[in-house]
Amino acid sequence: MLISYIQSIMMIILEVICCKIFFESFAEKRSKNNYRNYSIILGIVVCEYVIASLFYDKFILKQILAIVAVAVFMCFYFKIHFGKAIILSLLFQALLLSVDYFTLWLNVSLFDSIAEISRLHFVGGSLITVLGKIILFLVVLLIRKKVGGESSDVLRSTDWLRFIFFPVFTIFTVIALIMTSGNIENQKQENVFLVIALCLAGMNIVVFYMINDILKREIKIRENEVFQLKARNQTDMYRSISENFVKQRKKTHEYKNQIMCIESLIEMENYDELK
C-alpha cells in the first residue's frame, strides 16, 4: 500500500529531525554548508529506513544499529566526539522508545489489540503513530528550552508558552481525528485524515525552524548592538584619555616655563622680581 510506505518515510523524517533538534541542544554545527548538512540528514533518513526495513523483526539489533548509525552521522554534522555522540544517540533512542511505548499503550487502550489495529483500524493506528512523533517533538522542544543555549534564552517563559501552543494544538487536533476515525467509511477519507495529520506534523517543524531563524537573527542584532556600544564606550574612553593627556601636557609645559623663569631670575640675581 503506497500510503503506508509514504507514512513510514514521513515518520522516519520526523524522527530524524527531532533527533537533530535534540543534538542541537548539546553541540554546535561542524559546517554552515547547507548542501553538506542536508546530505548528512538525507543519509540518516536512508540509513534508518534501510535498518528498519531489514531488521524489523530483530528489535535489539535494530536498536543497536540505529544508535551507532545516528552517532556516526551526527559526528559529521556536529562538533562532537564519537563517545558523546553515542551517549546522546542512546538517550534519544530511549526517549523515542518511551514515546513509542506510550503510543502503543494508547493503541491497545483504544482498539483492544494490535491485531485489531492492523485489521480494522489502520488509519486510527497510523494517526496515533503521528501523534507519538508530535509528542516526541514537544518533549525535544522542552529539553531544548532547558539546555538549548542562546536561542532559548532569547525567548521569555511567556513567549515559550506561545511557541509550544502550536504543537499542543496539533496534539489535540490529531486526538480529535483519532476519536472520529471510527466513523470513516472509505479509503479516501482515511487518506485525507492521515494527510491532515502528517501536514500538521510537518507544519510544526516548519514553524519551529522559522522561529529559530528569527531568534538567530535577533541574537546577531543584539551582538552587533553590544559591539557598537562597546566600540562607542572605547572611543569615548580614548577621547577622554587623549583630552586628559593634552591638558596634562599643557600643565607640564606651564610648569616648565615657570621653572625656567625662576632659574633665569636666580641667575640674574633679580630677587625682587623673584618674590
- Summarised one tens digit per residue, pLDDT across range 110-150 is 655 554 555 445 666 778 888 888 999 999 988 888 876 55
- The answer on 105 and 22 residing in a single domain is yes
- The answer on 210 and 240 residing in a single domain is no
How far, CA to CA in Å, does 90 sit from each of 62, 94, 149?
A: 13, 6, 22
* Number of Cα atoms under 13 Å in the Cβ half of residue 36: 9
Nearest Cα residue to 137 out of 268, 41, 16: 16
- The answer on 124 and 7 residing in a single domain is yes
DSSP class of residue 26 equals T
Residue 117 is predicted with a pLDDT of: 52
Number of domains making up the chain: 2
Amino acid at 203: M
Amino acid at 163: F
Residue 200 is predicted with a pLDDT of: 87
Residue 173 is predicted with a pLDDT of: 87
- The answer on 30 and 127 residing in a single domain is yes
Cβ count near 138 (within 10 Å): 19
Nearest Cα residue to 75 out of 150, 16, 23, 21: 23
Residue 74 is predicted with a pLDDT of: 93
Distance CA 202, CA 185 (A): 26
Residue 269 is predicted with a pLDDT of: 62
- The answer on 162 and 182 residing in a single domain is yes
- pLDDT tens track for 1-30: 566 777 788 889 999 999 999 998 888 888
Residue 271 or residue 90, greater confidence: 90
- The answer on 258 and 144 residing in a single domain is no
Contact indicator for 151, 222 with CB cutoff of 8 Å: no
SS3 140: helix
- The answer on 236 and 221 residing in a single domain is no
DSSP class of residue 69 equals H
**Cell numbers of 74, please?**
551526527
Residue 120 is predicted with a pLDDT of: 47
- The answer on 202 and 247 residing in a single domain is no
* Domain range enclosing 108: 2-227
- The answer on 236 and 105 residing in a single domain is no
**Cell numbers of 50, please?**
534501510
- pLDDT tens track for 48-85: 999 988 888 888 999 999 999 999 999 999 989 999 99
Q: Where are the beta strands (DSSP E) in 73-219?
A: none
Quote the Cα angle for 141-143-145, to 5°. Answer: 70
Residue 8 is predicted with a pLDDT of: 82
Residue 217 is predicted with a pLDDT of: 81
Percent of the chain residues topping a pLDDT of 70: 80
- The answer on 164 and 139 residing in a single domain is yes
